[in-house]
Amino acid sequence: METDVSSPKKTARLAGLLYLVWAITGFYGLSYVPPKIMVRGDTVATANNVLAHEFLFRTFIVNDLVSSAIWVFLVLALYRLFKQVDERQAKLLVALVIVQIPAGFVMEAFNITSLMILKGELLKTFELSQRQDLAVLFLKINDYGTLTLEMFWGLWLFPLAILVYRSRFLPRFLGVWLIIDGFALLAISFTSLLLPGYKDIVSKIAWPALFGELAFMLWILVKGVNVQRWQEQACASGDARMKAAVRRRFGTPEEMK
């Protein structure tokens, strides 16, 4: 149990700060760089853009690696903040994030490979057009990998939403909004995979729901948590764990008689 009264508020604001940095890296990697590199339906133009903006492309790779690392620290800070609310949900929250990290590293390996192919450091005996096709193929694999990861971007919000809703130290409307946010991301992910022609329509409809994460991030960053209620819940959780440990060790009161 926390002994420092300010600790939960500091933890919440640390999580909010990490969330903010993670959101910035996410915007850079998903919305800023790709339009400058990828040209839909034009392999040659895409390959030329990678070479023409090599440094930008390299920052894109480093950015995604940093983003993955930040996400790990973020989810650990959230675990510390919410574990006394429901430890199972808090562990599920961590698990749904951690399983995504290896996939992210593999995708960045594809990006690095794509750059090496275009620069002629790999497959030197291949024709230029063949190397361009292979390089863009690796970039496309990255795109489709992002589509599959979108499902997990929605799934991890469900345990987070449950923890926020059940906590007595954060407003319940944030938990409700996060649940809606999770469903919106799942809808975008499945539409992209099953009915790609409707992706833009679904994304526009789901767009307002996606601000749930922003609202949660700003709340814990600016306001933190209600420390008194956090401590009350931590004490209640500690008492419950102690009683459960006693029951496991000595049995129920009836069995002890």
What is the structure's pLDDT at 256? 41
DSSP 41: T
What is the structure's pLDDT at 237? 67
Per-residue model confidence as pLDDT tens digits over 101-128? 998 899 999 999 999 999 888 888 888 8
What whole-number distance in Å separates Cα of residue 174 and Cα of residue 36?
A: 35
What whole-number distance in Å separates Cα of residue 229 and Cα of residue 45?
A: 57
DSSP assignment string, 158-187:
HHHHHHHHH-SSS-HHHHHHHHHHHHHHHH
What is the structure's pLDDT at 241? 53
Contact 169, 235 (CB under 8 A): no
DSSP assignment string, 201-256:
HHHHHHGGGGHHHHHHHHHHHHT---HHHHHHHHHHHHHHHHHHHHHHHH--HHHH
Q: How far is CA 26 from its chain centroid?
A: 9
Extract the residue ranges of the chain whose pLDDT is less than 70.
Answer: 1-6, 237-257
What is the structure's pLDDT at 60? 94
Contact 111, 137 (CB under 8 A): no
What is the structure's pLDDT at 128? 86
Which two three-digit tokens encode residue 210? 């996606």
What is the structure's pLDDT at 147? 83
Provide the sign of the torsion angle of the four alpha carbons 77, 78, 81, 86, taken in this order.
Answer: negative
Which two three-digit tokens encode residue 255? 């069995």
What whole-number distance in Å separates Cα of residue 187 and Cα of residue 224?
A: 30
Taking only Cα atoms into account, the Rg of the chain, rounded to an integer number of angstroms, comes to: 23
What whole-number distance in Å separates Cα of residue 131 and Cα of residue 98?
A: 34
Count of CB atoms situated within 10 Å of the CB of 146: 18
Provide the sign of the torsion angle of the four alpha carbons 168, 173, 176, 180, taken in this order.
Answer: negative
What is the structure's pLDDT at 171? 95
What is the structure's pLDDT at 141? 86
152-177 in b/e form (b: 16+ CB < 10 A) is bbbbbbbbbbbbbbebebbbeebbeb
* CA separation, residue 79 to residues 159, 201, 206 (Å): 11, 35, 28
